[in-house]
Chains A and B, each alone.
Chain A
């Protein structure tokens, strides 16, 4: 496991900033399809740290992966939640949509409750409410 990480880090260093060919980083200003603007995002971990915001009650459910595409004119997001615990966990999540000016692109969404079984993954998907939404944050909280 460790060797893979090291190898990946080395590869990233070797390729440098202009590494258009690395998977997930083909397009400038995007990581795994998600807009990152000029943020320093070099890995899935960085992307998640930049896009996910825990709120309210903390939970040990974590976001492990995230990908974005553009469908029509609207952004489409998929995020994987993982419950590593040996117990059922309940979380609630929502997306916040941000426009080019960094302002809210739409009204606050409703919290969506999710039940996660022991040692399980759950993929949440979202489509932006409109084409003004060019960036987002995934917000979630524990519900137990």
Chain B
């Protein structure tokens, strides 16, 4: 045991010191600006999401179909993620939809992802005898969309020793469901560069 004792003591002291140091480090939590410019890493971030959603909404509101003020019925389809980054494209389309809805110029029909929930609710009202027959949602009353929104996001990533460059391109299109014509399309580009050191 003897040869170890001094070493063990050193170890104990250093472990204790480490524990104390860890104990001293106090975390500070603060609220930040949810819409502030975020440049922590060059992965797809909150600022990119907000900029894209805002640019697309404003541009779409200027499209003739919407500006003509005849309250088009739109459904949001998938924005395809063509990058290898985990970009929540649903979060982007949700933001776009919320902004458009707030403008009061567009109405939204149930999209494919929410259809199951919609059907379930109609079925539930239909099947449940506790509901007032006069007011329950009936089958065959849903309104189909006149236009569909779809898009994609792609990226080009270049990396060298001390520099990483990411270029994102977000493209959104509005198609007329009846005649298949492209009514509106717009793009938003973002370039971000990280340099080390």
CB-CB contacts below 8 Å: B157-175 with A: none
Known: A72-B62, A129-B102. A113 touches B37 (CB 8 A): yes
**Contact residue among A106, A111, A113, A129 (Cβ-Cβ distance under 8 Å from B35):** A111
Establish whether residues B35 and A108, one from each chain, have CB atoms under 8 Å apart when the complex forms: yes
Provide the residues of chain A in CB contact with B61, threshold 8 Å.
74, 127, 129
Provide the residues of chain A in CB contact with B59, threshold 8 Å.
127
Known: A129-B103, A130-B103. A71 touches B62 (CB 8 A): yes
Provide the residues of chain A in CB contact with B103, threshold 8 Å.
129-130
| Tier of interface size on chain B | 10 to 19
Bound CA span A143–B39, Å: 10
Establish whether residues A110 and B50, one from each chain, have CB atoms under 8 Å apart when the complex forms: yes
Establish whether residues B99 and A111, one from each chain, have CB atoms under 8 Å apart when the complex forms: no
Q: Is A109 part of the binding interface, using a Cβ–Cβ cutoff of 8 Å?
A: yes
Provide the residues of chain A in CB contact with B36, threshold 8 Å.
111
CB-CB contacts below 8 Å: B34-56 with A: 35-37, 39, 47, 50-51, 54
Provide the residues of chain B in CB contact with A92, threshold 8 Å.
37
Establish whether residues A126 and B47, one from each chain, have CB atoms under 8 Å apart when the complex forms: no
Interface string of B46-89 (1 = CB under 8 A from A): 01001100100111011000010000000000000000000000
**Contact residue among A110, A126, A127, A129 (Cβ-Cβ distance under 8 Å from B51):** A110
Establish whether residues B62 and A110, one from each chain, have CB atoms under 8 Å apart when the complex forms: no
| Tier of interface size on chain A | 10 to 19
Establish whether residues B37 and A127, one from each chain, have CB atoms under 8 Å apart when the complex forms: no
Bound CA span A127–B103, Å: 12
- Least CB distance, A127 to chain B, in whole angstroms: 5
Bound CA span A129–B62, Å: 10
- Least CB distance, A129 to chain B, in whole angstroms: 6
- Least CB distance, B66 to chain A, in whole angstroms: 9
Known: A110-B47, A112-B51. A127 touches B62 (CB 8 A): yes
Bound CA span A77–B33, Å: 25
Bound CA span A36–B33, Å: 30
- Least CB distance, A39 to chain B, in whole angstroms: 26
- Least CB distance, B25 to chain A, in whole angstroms: 29
Establish whether residues A129 and B37, one from each chain, have CB atoms under 8 Å apart when the complex forms: no
Establish whether residues B58 and A127, one from each chain, have CB atoms under 8 Å apart when the complex forms: yes
Look across to chain A and name the residue whose beta carbon is closest to the beta carbon of B95.
A110
Establish whether residues A113 and B47, one from each chain, have CB atoms under 8 Å apart when the complex forms: yes
Establish whether residues B47 and A129, one from each chain, have CB atoms under 8 Å apart when the complex forms: no
Q: Would you list 24 pairs from A and B whose C-beta atoms are within 8 A, ordered by A residue?
A: A71-B62, A72-B62, A74-B61, A74-B62, A92-B37, A94-B35, A107-B102, A109-B35, A110-B35, A110-B47, A110-B50, A110-B51, A111-B33, A111-B36, A111-B47, A113-B37, A113-B47, A127-B59, A127-B61, A127-B62, A129-B57, A129-B61, A129-B99, A130-B102
B residues contacting A by CB (< 8 A) are 33, 35-37, 39, 47, 50-51, 54, 57-59, 61-62, 67, 99, 102-104
A residues contacting B by CB (< 8 A) are 71-72, 74, 92, 94, 106-113, 126-127, 129-130, 143
Question: A111-B37, A113-B37, A129-B99 known; 7 other A-B pairs, CB under 8 Å?
Answer: A74-B62, A108-B35, A112-B51, A113-B39, A113-B47, A129-B57, A129-B102
